[in-house]
Structure 1
Amino acid sequence: MRKFRKIQRSRRQSDAGSAWKGNDIMAKELFINGEVITVNSQNEIAEAVAIEDGKVLAVGTAEDILKLQDGEAAVTDLEGRTLMPGIIESHIHTTMYGANVLAVSCKDPGIRSIPDLLDKLKEQAASVPEGQWVRAWGFNENAIGEGRFPTREELDGVTDKHPVMVVRACGHISAVNSRGLAIGGITRNTPDPEGGTIGRDADGEPDGRLIENAHMNLYQLAAHTRDEIREAHRVASGHFAEKGITAVHDATGYGIENIEALREDAEEGVIAQRVYAMVGALNNPDKVVRHYLEKDIRTGEGNDRFRYGPVKVFLDGSSSGPTVWTTEPYTSDPENYGIHYMTQEELDELFVPAHEKGWQITAHAQGDAAIDQLLNTIDKALRLHPREDARHRIEHAGLARKDQVQRMKELGAVPTPNPAFFYEYGDGYVKNYGQRAQNMYPLASYREAGVPATLTADCPVTDFNPMRGIHSAITRKAPSGQVVGEAERIGLLDAIRCCTINAAYSGFSEERTGSIEPGKLADLAILDRSILTAEIDDIPEILVDRTIIGGETVFERSGEAVRS
């Protein structure tokens, strides 16, 4: 049985800087008779909230909040529904997701075989101007009847007028046709790039598969136009708003131009969510980092619409590929330890000066060997250039060992784990990593150690619906139904904290967002029911009725989306 503490009167918020001064203060909108999950330090549950001028004015009982009513204030009766802080997605690829929506989705239930995929690609090719890329995303060979990637020859049969790229769900591997290979200058004699592999057939000819840096290099050449990116941002923002997402920590995509496009589109309102942009790229991120280190910019600079986040690189591959860098070989392949991108010396040389200049640092580090490497750099940076509250991050930290969790605590590092991956890739984790899978994305261990972990889907790697991620954090169920690591499950309120106040903390914004407390920004989500009394397995079906950012409604389910 769940037990929750109730706020009896909003005056109890006075220690948190309550704006309560009596009936002379009138609110723009009052929300009453609800289940208000405050996510404050006591995890208190209230029943009413008042907001004014884009901020939370007061929190408490319906009786108290109604005292703020006048002829100008709107009153929303929540009728028992949940009102919670807006979701802060702490690791998401906004541009990639939006661009993917405009392409073929391999997660379409109608695509169950390679011929199904080829038919969809042909339809797409018919609507794409000659010479432009025909794209598909979300491919998973394990979900296709043939259990493999489409070959170069099969993709050549789709069209001879367009390059074709099919990107795996993890975003680290693709299959392309001959035109695509030609654009990348990839021939029989092309050597594998450092940190990547060119798939080849029995005769040594490229078979169309590009793995890790081989994919990243071509992906950079297949970049979208600025107009395509703006449309991708508009579409992505609308979809995120439908799920109650009010802020995104963008994990980069196409480099410097993409980062600045995010800034422009956030500041111009094309993107409704607040953006905290990681500085890096899918391809050659070190060059992007060096570019920004030469500029007079630091983590946190910007405004309420857009701020620069941490500098970011890749240290290893994908958890489902599988290409993560491990200290012990894969259970599924005793000769395989994964792929790693940088040496310890290279990472130190890049990130220690970044830390010294005031940047937050982070890296994609899934395997325990990659996590060790990043923690070593963080440790060195803090010893050489002590700085209070640096909050350096670790993106994903999939195969984090117990000793690494403790080291994160000691170094003040913030991991961004992906429990939502279990729903789609959990069975593969057990196959590839064996017993280690039981400790992947160890949210319970983080909680017990006092490490403020976030909760993220790494969209478009998996479904960005926060309710799916919350459910996976509670259940850790794989597609087969098996529970992968029961000891690492966490409760509902802990999961909500991960994707609200903890996520805010990971981006230095916990004083402004992440909880419903007086003085904070009115970034809110109203659900279609009570989440606290819902059956656990019904949580993924919970919908968002309304999303509010800075007091402005950006999505309302009862009608059309405000931002479409």
Structure 2
Amino acid sequence: MAKELLINGEVITVNANDEIVEAVAIENGKITAVGTTKEILQLQDEETRVTDLAERTLMPGIIESHIHTTMYGANVLAVSCKDPEIRTLAALLQKLKQHASTIPAGQWVRAWGFNETSIEEGRFPTREELDLVTDQHPVMVIRACGHLSAVNSEGLAIGGITRNTQNPEGGEIGRRADGEPDGRLIETAHMELYQLAAHTRDEMREAHRVASAHFAEKGITSIHDATGYGLQNIEALREDAMSGVIAQRVYAMVGALNKPEEVVRHYMQLDICTGEGDEHFKYGPVKMFLDGSSSGPTVWTTAPYTSDSGNYGIHYLAQEELDALFIPAHEKGWQVTAHAQGDAAIDQLLNTIEKALQLHPREDARHRIEHAGLVREDQLQRMKALGVIPTPNPTFFSEYGDGYVTNYGDRAQRMYPLASYYRNGIPATITADCPVADFNPMRGIHSAMTRKAPSGQVIGEDEQIRLLQAIRGYTLHAANASFSEKETGSIEVGKFADLVILDRSILSAEVDEILGIKTDRTIIGGETVYLRSKEPVNV
């Protein structure tokens, strides 16, 4: 926690005037001065550490405003379908078989990041194909969106799923022509089995350790965790943040992938609400799911899909059910949010927020919408009027953009409309929704600026934003979404020294060069949590 001076740099402050300065002084975990190199060097004494940035960028630490920490860490310890070697189902099945040979019988064999459009066969593996992987383990292959999976017969048996099992509300069990389950589980059908396949506490701790290290490597200093396995998962995040297993500051949404309403009701009965905690861990908003995946596609829309005139997606709750959960939560002081991708789901959440604010007026509630994919102009104006903060995912274009055009037609041109948000003074964050997409902030910044799909087509040129706007979305706007803008999100005196040093100047880089920028050092509260170079950084 000694004094350190960082000089001769390109310091992106993200302050009100977007000032670029040369140097920063930090001491006892806080920023104590910002200015020119000459000014900052005047603070040097015998015990001061001086770091020459050599014209590299120093910027506020990245705040990932919607990330599934446990899920990502667990995925790293499983089979990644994003492995470039996995381009066929045969290659996937071989990787699963290899992984099964390394773990005790009875444990789940998991794969993540599956995308049928990237596989040569263009489909999910069947139940019978997964049965050939192992007869000693349940197997689950999770789609990249996290809303669908394919499982083997052992996995179906654990879930009690047979030909006589009815589809759960908000979900579907895939079936063969003869009515037998084919292994595919969609939305709540997947979420229910996913809950049964939850990790042990030791597995969660290891997942958190791995995830935190990977996040630090990309300059991430705070995370808004979007939940996974429910009560146990939320409290595991709290324990691991408090003990230092997770280095980042954690703002934990209160919910679950399966039956989130039960988790919300549990925490509503406790004497806590949004903001409770300390600098390491705070409880965030209560969170529900209102619809499905943008790439599935299963989002809930007011007009049918362009690719399927009879499909409007799926939705989980009636308006009255959402009101009954969120209006009391708002009254008690909770921030509220929900996964709402389609415009019908966004309508539903905005209706609830509007009622809550009318019944129980509250200044600066900062309710959120997670993702807010297919946004209409009238909804954007409602968000502004209600003070709602959306958390869009421009990174999705780089992986799923071509499918958006196919499924949503012209509506894709204004998906995740960052330029419109910022023109209207709506402080939208930028997030990758890891592990749905690559959490590297450089990928997210590039995608926000270019909106390029894998094919190279630009989707919604009018919604492209500038570099400093993208950096603000990843920093100060994200801090604002967790009521922490007075402590983090910009390089200003008195704030935590949560900083990232890049390996070069980002301001002078060409747009496509941003993808190659790396993190040299990540600092949280004045302490280095990641250092790429083993060379001395002092002068």
The interval holding the TM-score normalised by the smaller chain is over 0.9
Which aligned pairs between 1:73-92 and structure 2 lie closer than 5 A?
Answer: 73-92=48-67
Residues 244-263 of structure 1: pairs in structure 2 closer than 5 A = 244-263=219-238
Match in the other structure for 2:22: 47
Alignment pair present for 1:411 and 2:386:
yes
Q: Aligned match of 1:116 in 73, 91, 95?
A: 91
One-letter identity of the residue aligned with 2:480: Y
> What is the Cα deviation at residue 297 of structure 1?
0.5
Native 8 Å contact 1:476 1:484 kept in 2:
yes
Q: CA deviation at 1:199?
A: 0.2
C-alpha separation in 2, matches of 1:294 and 1:202: 46
CA contact (8 A) 1:27 1:57 kept: no
**Matched AA of 1:218:** L
Taking the TM superposition and a 5 Å limit, the aligned residue runs for 1:30-179 are: 30-179=5-154
How far did residue 107 of structure 1 move?
0.1
Separation of aligned partners in 2, 1:540 and 1:329: 35
Which aligned pairs between 1:132-531 and structure 2 lie closer than 5 A? 132-531=107-506
User: Could you tell me which amino acid in structure 2 is paired with residue 549 of structure 1?
Assistant: I
Matched residue SS, 1:477: coil
One-letter amino acid matched to 1:509: S
2:529 matched to which residue of 1? Answer: 554
Tell me, in whole angstroms, the C-alpha distance in 2 between the residues paired with 1:449 and 1:339.
30
TM-score (norm: length of structure 1): 0.94
Q: How many residues align?
A: 535
Determine helix, strand or coil for the equivalent of 1:238. helix
Amino acid at match of 1:273: Q
Tell me the SS of whatever aligns to 1:68: coil
Partner of residue 517, structure 2:
542
Structure 1 alignment gaps of length 5 or more: 1-25
Q: Residue by residue, what CA displacement relative to the aligned partner does 1:24-46 show, whole Å, maximum 9, x if unpaired?
A: xx970000000000000000000
Q: State the distance in 2 between where 1:513 and 1:308 align.
A: 17
Cα distance per residue 1:2-32 (max 9 Å; x no partner): xxxxxxxxxxxxxxxxxxxxxxxx9700000
State the distance in 1 between where 2:47 and 2:384 align.
48
Q: Distance in 2 between matches of 1:355 and 1:145?
A: 48
CA distance in 2, matches of 1:183, 1:138: 22
CA distance in 2, matches of 1:430, 1:384: 40
Please, what is the CA RMSD of the aligned residues? Answer: 0.8
Whole-Å Cα distance in 2 between the matches of residues 522 and 196 of structure 1? 45
Kindly provide the CA deviation profile for residues 289-324 of structure 1, in whole angstroms up to 9, marking residues without a partner as x. Answer: 000000000100000000000000000000000000
Pairwise CA distance, 1:128: 1.1
| SS state at 2:283 partner | strand
Mapped to 2, the partners of 1:30 and 1:403 lie a distance apart of 48
Letter in 2 for 1:268: S
SS at match of 1:457: coil
* Contact map agreement 1:27 1:68 (CA 8 A) in 2: no
Q: Quote the Cα distance in structure 2 between the aligned partners of 1:143 and 1:558.
A: 35
Amino acid of the structure 1 residue aligned with 2:154: R
SS across alignment from 1:199: strand
Unaligned 5+ residue runs, structure 2?
Answer: none
What CA distance in whole angstroms lies between the structure 1 residues aligned with 2:376 and 2:513?
32
- Deviation for aligned residue 1:66: 0.2
1:273: Cα distance to partner? 0.1
Distance 2:58 2:421 in 1: 26
Mapped to 2, the partners of 1:456 and 1:100 lie a distance apart of: 19
Match of residue 9 from structure 1: none
1:27, 1:50 within 8 Å by CA — same for their partners in 2?
no
Conserved? CA contact 1:352–1:377, under 8 Å: yes
Q: Please give the secondary structure, in 2, of the residue aligned with 1:127.
A: coil
SS at match of 1:123: helix
The superposition leaves residues 360-402 of structure 1 with CA deviations (integer Å, 9 ceiling, x where unpaired) of 0000000000000000000000000000000000000000111
Q: 2:15 and 2:314 mapped to 1: Cα distance?
A: 41
Match for 1:243: what amino acid? K
Report the secondary structure of 2:312's partner residue. coil
SS at match of 1:555: strand
Cα offset for 1:540? 1.2
Amino acid at match of 1:90: S
Deviation of residue 151 (structure 1)? 0.1
How many percent of aligned residue pairs carry the same amino acid? 78
1:21 is matched with none
Determine if contact 1:27/1:69 at 8 Å carries over to the other structure: no
Aligned counterparts of 2:480 and 2:206: Cα–Cα separation in 1: 30
**Distance of 2:206 and 2:187 partners within structure 1:** 27
Amino acid at match of 1:356: E
TM-score by length of 2: 0.99
CA distance in 2: counterparts of 1:81 and 1:414, whole angstroms: 32
Q: Aligned equivalents of 2:115 and 2:446: distance in 1?
A: 22
Q: Distance in 2 between matches of 1:286 and 1:558?
A: 46
Structure 1 residue 174 displacement after superposition: 0.1
Partners of 1:402 and 1:249 lie apart in 2 by 27
TM-aligned CA deviation for residue 559 of structure 1: 3.1
